[in-house]
A and B are shown apart, each in its own frame.
Chain A
């Protein structure tokens, strides 16, 4: 268990001389607290795997330092960093029993047999693997194998951190629900620092206390799931978190009003003195826009399609050239072609050059 500090950490795969704009990871400084559950979330190529590899020691940074509990571990090899890793595909030994697989990371480190047995029993209990302890690890289902991999990652109680690299990608949806809640319970029970890399927003948001959203080699926002949802600091976060993502449309903003496609909508805060020449956009999540019968005073939109997700319906509409998604209230019968849109002003945000503007009360 350790607090992790990233100090001006950056990496380029093309050597240190390369243009900083081309770095796979642009300089970042942040602190991850001991015992926290963090997710690194972003699309392929955003730098999340580079960051994970820097922490694990597979890659040496071009710049900056990594501290575990204040100690600079940047020059240390992966082995000496005292971390555990769980990968996308299960890594287990078919010839060993499930119990031997779980014990393996401890066996190599001179832990006493009594300690090993106690820890293996505890981890097996937490993962519902107790009935399988004496069984050979062959011919198990993919999720059982991945549970053993998780168990091997969790079995050492003294690791600085456990790093998970897309551990649920190969798991069927129903089992994902079970494993996700298992992981969360394990995090609570074991007080370990966990770092979880994924491109799947549901996994990131449901696993982590703090989600670190990455885009183009930068951390664009780090916050709780609720913060990322309610107040995206960057339009990328608005787009990437949420399904469908946030609606982001060009607008003219003056004081407490935004003009979108010739129509005025009210804002909850006042926006004066927006940066001159900046690209001004309004962002609002589909959950905070309802479709309604067209009426004077409502922004009207052309309905293109209705997505029925079972528990919620979203209308895909068009306002001028901009695509837009809005919630269809339960029991609402959908008008043919044109709908009115009702905005919840407390959830309409203003962005200048993609960054959130706070506005004043």
Chain B
């Protein structure tokens, strides 16, 4: 089956929350809705689920218009950021509840609950009640219930946001396997770029109620259509510097003038913004063919495996990431270089005009 939003808009009290969204989701696929808080991720999910009606536009299931069809007649399961379980029922009964509502025979219920429990590693806890479980186990119970329902469309709204870091890491690596085993349409909302990268599938990048770009996750990450997409899909935040190209050279705002080599070579004369992720900035001085900068260290953050160096340069804040432990004192003047083949170049309107690798 497939679900389609066709030119959907939605306004609440006259204020638009979703602006002209078109999106098709196919069976057996995972789509990550990536965007900051209030970018419209939850609104899209509610429209897909039939919990809200579009102000204009339509919702199609297998090409058939279901706009306005009650949510109870659609095959949908949803998992929220806050774990929702029935506190008085055992974990087993929590997972079984949608099957009991569907009137499934006892043998089938037993089989499907055990399968879901195995998938989510909940077998030892089936006789407990949710309040006797950790947060991660409670959320796994909610996910198991959503899976067991056998819904065609499973919506997960920041399901790991309230979990401990390590649990999040573990569930995150298990989820693609769980999705694959189920064959439903999965939609997963998150604010975190790293989560989208780990889940793979497709990423739908959202901003202020609009879809900025949708496509295969690694493609959206490597070829963001606009600077805004690159910003939403960068953690640490995207570093930005302005350039002016003329007569075969580029002048960096508040910085060096360099030959227009690499990706700059084919640009027409004019003003551009160059975006680069933390790892695209190298801390080094005077490498042939690279473009150099001086920036002032504001803070160094060390995680052990990596050091994040926060920099201030020409009134902009940048972050560089280095492998291993590197401590720079605040105020230190750091030399850094950019490879003109390894940057994103955006035109004055913020559209991508050059990116590393083939366009």
Residues of A within 8 A of B323 (CB): 287
Q: How near does chain A come to B35, taking the closest CB pair, in angstroms?
A: 10
Contact B191 A173 (CB under 8 A): yes
Q: CA A108 – CA B304 in complex, angstroms?
A: 42
Interface flags for B297-326 (1: CB within 8 Å of A; 0: not) read: 011011111001010000001010101010
Q: Are B304 and A177 in contact (CB under 8 A)?
A: no
Chain A residues 201-241 with CB under 8 Å of chain B are 201-202, 205-207, 224-226, 228-230, 239-241
Residue A320, interface by CB 8 Å? no
CB pair A202 B303 closer than 8 Å: yes
In the complex, what's the smallest C-beta–C-beta distance from A6 to chain B, in angstroms? 24
Contact A172 B191 (CB under 8 A): yes
- CB nearest to A316 among chain B residues: B173
Which residues of A sit under 8 angstroms from B285, Cβ to Cβ?
none
Q: Does B275 contact A (CB under 8 A)?
A: no
B277 interface hit (Cβ, 8 Å): yes
Minimum distance in angstroms from A184 CB to a CB of chain B: 5
Chain A stretch 297-330: residues in CB contact (< 8 A) with chain B: 307-311, 316
Select the stretch in B148-156, B181-189, B192-200 that faces chain A: B192-200
A309 touches B194 (CB 8 A): yes
Q: Verify A181–B166 contact, CB threshold 8 A.
A: no
Annotate B159-176 by CB proximity to A: 1 below 8 A, 0 otherwise: 000001111010001000
- In the complex, chain B residues whose CB is within 8 Å of the CB of A21: none
Contact A44 B134 (CB under 8 A): yes
How long is the Cα–Cα vector from A186 to B235 in the complex, in angstroms?
23
Contact B193 A173 (CB under 8 A): yes
Please report which residues of chain A, range 168-184, place their CB below 8 angstroms from some CB of chain B when the two chains form the complex: 172-174, 177-178, 180-181, 184
Let me know if B325 and A226 touch, CB within 8 A: yes
Q: What separation, in Å, do the CA atoms of A300 and B194 have in the docked complex? A: 29
- Please pick, from A172, A180, A230, the residue contacting B301 in the complex, using a CB distance under 8 A: A180
Central interface residue in A142, A206, A316, by most chain B CB within 10 Å: A206
Q: What is the chain B residue whose CB lies nearest that of A285? A: B305
What are the residues of chain A within 8 A of B192 when measuring CB–CB?
A: 173
Q: Which residues of B contact A310 (CB under 8 A)?
A: 193-194, 197, 221, 277, 279
> Is A257 engaged at the interface, CB distance under 8 Å to the other chain?
no
Whole-angstrom distance between the Cβ of B336 and the nearest chain A Cβ: 16
> Does A337 belong to the interface (CB within 8 Å)?
no
Separation of A226 and B197 alpha carbons in the complex (Å): 27
Report the stretch among A94-102, A242-250, A268-276 that lies at the interface.
A242-250
CA distance A190 to B56 in the complex (A): 54
Kindly state the separation between the CA atoms of A241 and B304 in the bound complex, as whole angstroms.
Answer: 9
CB distance from A239 to the nearest CB of B (A): 8
Verify A200–B165 contact, CB threshold 8 A.
yes
Report the bound CA distance from A225 to B303 in whole Å: 6
**Is A259 part of the contact surface with B, judged by Cβ < 8 Å?**
no
State how many angstroms separate the Cβ of B344 from the closest Cβ of chain A.
13
- What residue in chain A is nearest B198 (Cβ atoms)? A307
What distance in Å separates the Cβ of A153 from its nearest Cβ neighbour in chain B? 19
Query: If the complex has contacts A225-B304, A229-B303, are A172 and B298 also in contact, measured as CB distance less than 8 A?
Result: no
Residues of B near A147 (CB, < 8 A) are none
Instruction: Return the contact of B235 from the options A142, A174, A241 (Cβ within 8 A).
Output: A174
Of the residues B135, B221, B299, contact of A184 by C-beta under 8 Å: B299
Contact of A243 (CB < 8 Å), options: B134, B164, B169, B330: B169
> Is B237 on the interface with A (CB-CB < 8 A)?
yes
Report the bound CA distance from A14 to B12 in whole Å. Answer: 50
* Given A172-B36, A177-B237, A310-B277, A185 and B299 contact (CB-CB distance below 8 Å): yes
Min CB distance B310 to A, Å, is: 5
Q: Is the CB of B279 within 8 A of A311?
A: yes
Q: Does A199 contact B (CB under 8 A)?
A: yes
Is the Cβ of B301 less than 8 Å from the Cβ of A228? Answer: no
Identify the closest chain B residue to A239 (Cβ): B166
B218 at the interface (CB under 8 A from A): yes
Complex-state Cα separation, A43 to B163, whole angstroms = 9
Which partner residue on chain A sits nearest B177 by CB separation? Answer: A305
B302 & A206 in contact (Cβ 8 Å cutoff): yes
Contacts of B356 in A (CB 8 A): none
Q: Chain A residues near B298: list those with CB within 8 A.
A: 181, 185
**Cα–Cα, bound, A177→B231 (Å):** 13
Asked whether B303 lies within 8 Å of A206 as measured between CB atoms, the reply is yes
Q: Is the CB of A45 within 8 A of B193?
A: no
Q: State whether B302 touches A201 (Cβ < 8 A).
A: no
Most buried by A among B164, B169, B303, B325: B303
Report if B55 contacts A (CB, 8 A).
no
Assuming the contacts A44-B164, A45-B134, asked whether A229 and B36 have C-beta atoms less than 8 A apart, the reply is no
How far in angstroms is the closest Cβ of chain A from B103?
A: 38
A184 to B299, CA, bound (A): 7
Chain B residues whose C-beta falls within 8 Å of the C-beta of A44 in the assembled complex: 134-135, 164
Contacts of A241 in B (CB 8 A): 304
Please, which residue of chain A has its CB at the minimum distance from the CB of B169? Answer: A243
Closest to B319 in A: A177
B116 interface contact, C-beta 8 A:
no
* Cα A216 to Cα B302 with chains together (Å): 26
What CA separation (Å) do A207 and B300 show in the bound complex? 10
CB of A226 to closest CB in B, whole Å: 4
In B89-116, the 8 Å CB interface with A consists of none
CB distance from B121 to the nearest CB of A (A): 14
Q: A184 contacts which chain B residues (CB < 8 A)?
A: 299, 301
A-B contact pairs, 29 of them (CB 8 A): A43-B164, A142-B37, A172-B191, A173-B192, A173-B193, A174-B36, A177-B236, A177-B319, A181-B299, A181-B301, A181-B310, A184-B299, A201-B166, A202-B303, A205-B301, A206-B303, A207-B301, A224-B302, A225-B302, A230-B304, A239-B166, A245-B166, A287-B305, A307-B173, A309-B194, A310-B193, A310-B194, A311-B278, A311-B279
Q: Which residues on B are within 8 Å of A, measured CB to CB?
A: 36-37, 134-135, 164-167, 169, 173, 191-194, 197-198, 218, 221, 231, 235-237, 277-279, 298-299, 301-305, 308, 310, 317, 319, 321, 323, 325, 330
The 3 closest A-B pairs by CB, nearest first: A229-B304, A206-B301, A311-B279
Q: List A residues at the B interface (Cβ < 8 Å).
A: 43-45, 142, 172-174, 177-178, 180-181, 184-185, 188, 199-202, 205-207, 224-226, 228-230, 239-245, 285, 287, 307-311, 316
